[in-house]
C-alpha cells in the first residue's frame, strides 16, 4: 500500500496478523476478533474492545444515537467514526439520526 492511507479494516487486519497488541492488564499476547472488535488475552482472558467493538456495543444498546452523540460518548473523532460507516463496517440503524 505504498503511499496510500490504510482503512480502519486494513489497520485492524494488519494488527491482528502481526499480533502487536498486548493485554492492558497483564501484558500478555492477545487474539483479535475482527467480527467483534475485541482483543482477548491469551494469558489472563481479559477482553479489551477497540473502537469498532465499542461503537457496535453502543449502537446495540442505543440504536437512535446520532454520530455526534456516539463520538462524544466514546471520545473518538467524527472522522474515525464516519470511516466505519463509509467502509460498510457498520450500518445505520433504521430509526437512527445518523445521517
Render pLDDT for 78-87 as a digit per residue (tens, 0 to 9).
988 888 888 7
| 3 domain-assigned | no
The domain in which residue 41 lies consists of: 8-86
How far, CA to CA in Å, does 39 sit from each of 33, 47, 55, 57? 6, 6, 15, 15
| 92 domain-assigned | no
Please say if the pLDDT value at position 4 is more than 70: no
Cα–Cα dist 47/15, whole Å: 16
Grid coordinates belonging to 70: 456516539
Q: Is 86 helix (H, G, I), strand (E, B) or coil?
A: helix
| 58 domain-assigned | yes
| 17 domain-assigned | yes
Mean pLDDT over residues 67-85, rounded?
90
Handedness of CA 1, 85, 69, 49 (dihedral sign): negative
CA 15, 20, 45 angle in degrees (round to 5)? 100
Number of domains into which the chain is organized: 1
| 78 domain-assigned | yes
Residue 67: φ, ψ to 5°? -65, -35
Render pLDDT for 42-61 as a digit per residue (tens, 0 to 9).
999 999 998 989 999 999 89
Q: Is 31 helix (H, G, I), strand (E, B) or coil?
A: strand
| 93 domain-assigned | no
| 35 domain-assigned | yes
| 14 domain-assigned | yes
Amino acid at each position: 500500500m505504498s503511499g496510500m492511507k490504510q482503512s480502519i479494516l486494513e489497520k485492524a487486519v494488519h494488527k491482528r496478523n502481526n499480533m502487536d497488541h498486548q493485554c492492558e492488564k497483564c501484558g500478555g499476547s492477545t487474539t483479535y476478533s475482527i467480527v467483534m472488535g475485541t482483543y482477548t488475552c491469551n494469558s489472563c482472558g481479559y477482553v479489551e474492545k477497540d473502537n469498532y467493538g465499542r461503537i457496535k456495543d453502543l449502537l446495540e444498546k442505543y440504536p437512535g444515537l446520532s454520530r455526534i452523540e456516539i463520538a462524544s460518548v466514546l471520545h473518538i473523532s467524527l472522522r474515525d467514526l464516519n470511516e466505519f460507516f463509509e467502509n460498510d463496517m457498520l450500518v445505520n440503524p433504521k430509526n437512527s439520526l445518523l445521517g
